[in-house]
């Protein structure tokens, strides 16, 4: 079934959040994967805690603070790599299928957007680095509402901006908690379960579970 709009989470869905550490794996050493996992977990934790506290700080600040914690938690990793890792985060690799899928969806007449916790500058850099700027109609950042996902005001940016009912929007995310929030809001949701994670939030199920974005494109 075709939808009027396809909206994508950015980090973990379009862009590989572990690419920054993997790019410098030889300099980080054997605990690179652990470092990357802690960095990502803390980045998200800080976004949830700050939303609950009503103490917003943009996602780039949280990304830097999370890396500081991860480097302290993983002493085998050289803290002198901080600037190098942060620089790499501006140019994260997109997943291999992403450009082709977005082009096919765009050609079908659907509107395409990113809806992300990322700051506007982070998202613009990632989109340009992956050459996705020509296929996206909009980039929605939580910076506008100063609250992070899964606050309903985040998802409402799309329906208000595009004057659509939530049910007209297909929302794709690799983050199960994000899918739960979008389902509660009323979007048709597709969980991109890239790493074969177990199901959770069973009272807010996705409409579809896929291992990648590839099957979204008509004809696939």
Contact between 84 and 110 under an 8 Å Cβ cutoff? The reply is: no
End-to-end CA distance of the chain: 12
**Per the omega criterion (within 30 degrees of 0), is the bond before 186 cis?**
no
Task: Tell me the C-alpha distance between 95 and 107, whole Å.
Answer: 20
Residue 143: active-site member: no
Please count the other Cβ atoms lying within 10 Å of the Cβ belonging to residue 73: 14
Q: Which of 9, 93, 143, 178 is catalytic?
A: 9
Backbone angles phi, psi at 38, to 5 degrees: -65, -40
Q: Which residues are tagged catalytic? A: 9
């Amino acid at each position: 079934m075709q939808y009027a709009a396809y909206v994508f989470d950015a980090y973990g869905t379009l862009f590989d959040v572990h690419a920054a550490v993997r790019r410098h794996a030889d300099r980080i050493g054997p605990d690179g994967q652990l470092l990357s996992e802690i960095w990502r977990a803390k980045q998200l934790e800080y976004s949830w805690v700050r939303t609950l506290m009503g103490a917003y700080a943009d996602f780039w600040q949280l990304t830097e603070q999370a890396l500081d914690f991860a480097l302290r938690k993983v002493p085998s990793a050289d803290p002198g790599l901080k600037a190098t890792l942060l620089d790499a985060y501006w140019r994260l690799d997109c997943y291999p299928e992403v450009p082709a899928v977005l082009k096919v969806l765009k050609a079908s007449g659907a509107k395409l957007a990113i809806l992300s916790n990322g700051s506007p500058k982070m998202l613009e850099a990632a989109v340009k680095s992956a050459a996705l700027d020509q296929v996206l109609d909009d980039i929605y950042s939580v910076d506008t509402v100063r609250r992070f996902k899964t606050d309903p005001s985040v998802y409402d940016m799309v329906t208000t901006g595009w004057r659509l009912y939530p049910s007209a929007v297909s929302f794709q995310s690799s983050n199960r908690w994000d899918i739960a929030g979008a389902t509660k809001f009323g979007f048709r949701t597709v969980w991109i379960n890239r790493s074969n994670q177990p199901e959770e939030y069973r009272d807010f199920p996705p409409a579809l579970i896929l291992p990648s974005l590839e099957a979204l494109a008509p004809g696939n």
